[in-house]
Amino acid sequence: MITNMPIVSPPTPAPSPRPIPQYNPSSEFSTLLGPASRKQYLISILHECSPAELRFLSQTITPMLKRDVLTELPAELALHILSYVDDPCTLARASQVSKRWHDLVADDWLWKVLCDTYSFRADTEDKSATSLFQDDESLDEIDKFASSSIDSWLTARDRLKRQELTSVSHWGPYFSDNLLHPRTQFSHQQYFRRAYGTMLNLRKGGNILRAHRMPIPTPDSGVVTSVALDTEWVVVGLANSKIHLFSAITGVLSRTLMGHELGVWAVHLVCRGGHWGRGDMDEDGYPDDADDPVVPAALKTALGIDRRRRMRSPASIGDDSAKPSDICCISEGWGQPNSIIVSASCDKTLRVWDATSGHCIYVLRGHTATVRCARVLHNRPIAVTGSRDSTLRVWNIQKGVMLRVLHGHSASVRCLDVCGNKVVSGSYDTTCRIWDVDTGECIRVLRGHSHQIYSIAIDGNFVASGGMDTVVRVWDATTGNCIAQLTGHTALVCQLQLSTSTNLLATGGSDGRVITFSLRSFTALQRLAAHDSSVTSLQFDANFLITGGNDGRIRVFETQTGVWVRDLSERCESVWKVLYKKGVCAVMCKRAGKTVMEIWTFKPKER
């Protein structure tokens, strides 16, 4: 029997669950609320947050607000912004932020602007600067790059290049002429690092490379009368007729030059290298080949005689007619491979020496009394000397001949200075005279002093002179008019430096005072009671003023403010001469009755 069993229907599947809509407050915040309501909403939320929640919000929001502005800006604008940073330590830290910042800070234009800010400029004879070049070819000077305006920011780099191409002109212009000399590469960053380190060392540090003590047979025979200094050599002239030659790099006494019969009153150092300047050329633009001197071949090489045809024409160099002399008694060479020393003596002669070998190349005779002062023109083998016989004489020291005699003074010529092809001389006859070296013509006679003249300088269109009447006079070199009479000294004005690049005139007197004057307003800027007795040395640049005195002190002041920085070396009996050049300082003094020659270095240690 079959029984029908009811079959239960399978359960109907439940419907699939519908997704529960998620609450999205950000969508509601962005779509439903207006700007004002959004702010009110945020304020109400913040008021309800606990301190821990607020701290969480701060940590979350702070990174979201950070933006690397320099990275997003064009490189030219980023560099312009960075150019306002005048602290090198800040720039160094900025270079560690990111690779992009590192690349921006490494831009050489930025460090060139910083060099301008700190007035760091490399001269042609500065070996510390030229060592950064790939070759020893001399470089043309460029004017200070001074453009802080953001106008035409896309051409900031082009503006610098145009200046380098069109402008040719101490710590004074420096070089960056990759366009003129493609083989050379000058790093302003490296140069600034060295110059800044040197500046810091001059303030607080420094080391004595060598200290040389000379036994003195007689009280006066070891007196230092003159010093010349570049970054390679220190040349010291003595009253005992000797000339000592030291290495400015190691401080070692390299050799003693002997030949003068009486005391040496003036020395001048011509740096190796350089180029031929204007004048003394044949019609092809090269040095005149006629009448080559009869000297050994090695000395012809030292004088650059056998290399003349390979030297560049002055047409490619620029105008050297307004280049002032160097306070350190040095001048740029004419392309010769060795440094040349010129010395003047009480034996009435002028001697020309090869610094490398120590050989005396020429003995030049003509003066009839002590040769008191000597200078050599930049980039030309032309020396000018002044003597107690009241004349000046012009010499070609490459050929060893006298070119002309300059007559006009009626008493001893005590001092002279050169600028381009112009020479200015000061005499015991109370007058100054301006001469043209190439013609021997006396261009101007400057009258006004009432007593003997002891110091003189020419730089561009200004001539400054000082002497026994205690008044410093500033003259217009073109017209010969006295444009200022500067007072303040109460005794002989025996030291003087003039610089139109910094618009400063510094004077030192036998009263121990040092006074700086503005060349714009001709007013006294700083009056320093620097020494207790006569100022024997005075030298300044844009940053520091260094003085030496008979009171045995060597003092360093800030040039712009006159603030005392430090005293160099230990106090001695008297200081004869102090010269400073690019991190090297030569101190000539008397200690315990002996002549002491100290060679200091303030250069930073190489990494």
Average pLDDT of every residue of the chain? 83
Name which of 149, 146, 152, 90 is nearest 115 in CA terms.
Answer: 146
Note the pLDDT of residue 553. Answer: 96
- One-letter amino acid identity for 205? G
Instruction: Over range 541-559, report the average pLDDT.
Output: 96
Q: Is the pLDDT of residue 147 over 60?
A: no
Residue 324 DSSP SS3: strand
Give the pLDDT band of residue 283 (cuts 50, 70, 90).
very low
- pLDDT band for position 276 (cuts 50, 70, 90): confident
Q: What is the DSSP string of 371-383?
A: EEEEEE-TTS-EE
If one compares 135 and 254, the residue with the highest pLDDT of the two is: 254
132: confidence class by pLDDT, cuts 50, 70, 90: very low
Q: What is the pLDDT of residues 77-107, one digit of tens each?
A: 999 999 999 899 999 899 998 898 999 999 9
**288, containing H or E segment:** none
Closest-CA residue to 553 (of 569, 529, 564, 541): 569
Q: Are 558 and 526 in contact (CB under 8 A)?
A: no
Tell me how far apart the terminal alpha carbons of the chain are, to the nearest angstrom: 115
Q: Identify the helix (H) or strand (E) that includes residue 187.
A: none
Res 22 pLDDT > 70: no
Q: What is the mean pLDDT of residues 322-337?
A: 93
Distance CA 74, CA 231 (A): 41
Residue of 148 and 227 predicted with greater confidence = 227
Mind listing the pLDDT tens digit for each residue in 426-477? Answer: 999 999 999 999 999 999 999 999 999 999 999 988 999 999 999 999 999 9
Q: What is the pLDDT of residues 369-391, one digit of tens each?
A: 999 999 999 999 999 999 999 99
Bigger pLDDT: 175 vs 577: 577
Q: Whole-model pTM?
A: 0.79
Domains of the chain, earliest start first: 69-194 (1.20.1280), 448-568 (2.130.10.10)
Instruction: Look at residues 97, 95, 149, 233 and name the one whose alpha carbon lies nearest to residue 586.
Output: 233
Which of 4-18, 273-287, 335-349 is predicted with the least confidence, judged by mean pLDDT?
Answer: 273-287
